[in-house]
Homo-oligomer: A and B are copies of this chain.
């Protein structure tokens, strides 16, 4: 059941449907995007849809799982792409800037996904099954990111003024809100005000330890 062998053709149509759905979810919202519209955008009819998914809900599930994987891989790649030397040889500010640049390039940190994520979060709130999957996916990415921050701090011999997981929540929430504000006011994506905002937060909340170590 869970391990249905999928042919290449089938996988391609699934992918196209998922891509079209993501686009339309961002453009018109999860609920407003009709199955018909999704199929049309993907170049299929509803026959293809119902042959691949049981319902729009199930497509959301698949979308979430696919994206979750992409995110995890993207994060890992992004982390691996930061050479060790950066963490030890540069100033905190430089590390922060570098990390932001790498993450931005490697993950799909675009406005579209910000919108879809927001949409799905609200949609999942009303759908127990989807809610489980979403929570699980976000938890995974979240804990990976927290680990990354924590280990980076350790290497720099720096510490955060607040618990690292809360710091992560703040960064995520701030990023999303900034992007949303930009989207609402029609600010072009290239302006990227969120980037400097996050740098400012990190500079304020991450500090080098006191001269005298308080250890024990």
Contact = CB atoms under 8 A, between A and B. Distances in A.
A144 interface: no
Contacts of A184: 121, 124-125, 131, 134-135
Number of copies: 2
Contact of A174 (B27, B119, B170, B205): B170
B169 A174 contact: yes
A29 interface: yes
Q: How large is the interface on A (under 10, 10 to 19, 20 to 34, 35 or more residues)?
A: 35 or more
B118 A122 contact: yes
B162 A169 contact: no
Interface in A109-140: 115, 118-119, 121-126, 131, 134-135
Interface in A1-53: 27-29, 31-32
A166 interface: yes
Shortest 3 CB-CB distances between A and B: which pairs? A173-B177, A161-B204, A173-B173
